[in-house]
Amino acid sequence: MRLDKYLADAGAYTRKQAQALVRAGRVLVAGAVVKNPAQMVSDGHQVLVDGQIILRDAQLYLMMHKPAGVLTAARDRNAPTVSAYLPPLYLKRGASPVGRLDKDVTGLLIFTTDGELNHRLTSPKRGVDKTYLASVDGVLAESDVLAFEKGLDLGDFTARPATLEILQLSQARVTVCEGKYHQVKRMFEAIGKPVITLKRLSMGGVLLDETLLPGQTRPLTADEIATLRQSAQMEEP
């Protein structure tokens, strides 16, 4: 089949994006640069984009810079969802979000078709780290850092020890190893400093690509996928 169709069928790019990548000399077929999108290839050829192997039957691993005001859901009658921002070719392949971000929370949201990885990354037993940038109503103090380190009683459960790094008077970076409903917000409420804005910076060692504008998505690199698998305690294939 045509090279641009091969890349599009792999679910990583649209046909137009694939053609631009090929013409830019960023695609190798069987070790040679190919600049003609109409070049014929087969599943027996090794196809690489920027050094990353592209397989048509491979699992999808993506990151989105989630915008505010968007639900982490497939569809909703009353509000926009992340599905509206996910390119149709990814939806067609069945990419699902790894965990959820509240409607008003922005930042890193990972999608994958790899059900086992999705389950492991969201399982409380695995203790996968998630880091957020929080702006709060109030002045943060060293006593808050200690409270997070100790673990906060939230009524229905006690949050595990977390790391709170104060960046400014009312801004901090917080890392938790669990992700229960509204947990980060509830932790700040427990110390009397409710969250004003919250942005996820990383998950399982994978950092948000800050070059992505809110609503944009890109495939994860091979290194990022390996980092996630390591965080999820999965053996490399």
Active site positions, annotated: 102
CA-CA distance, 235 to 117, in Å (whole number)?
Answer: 11
Two structure tokens written together for 10: 């792999």
Count of CB atoms situated within 10 Å of the CB of 75: 10
3-state helix, strand, coil in the chain (%, to 5): 25, 25, 45
Strand partners, 109: 64
What radius of gyration do the chain's Cα atoms show? 20
Is-contact 70 85, C-beta < 8 A?
Answer: yes
CA-CA distance, 97 to 104, in Å (whole number)?
Answer: 16
From residue 218, alpha-carbon distances to 5, 58, 60, 108, 181 in Å are 18, 16, 10, 11, 27
DSSP H/E element including 65: strand 61-66
From residue 154, alpha-carbon distances to 112, 157, 186 in Å are 31, 6, 7
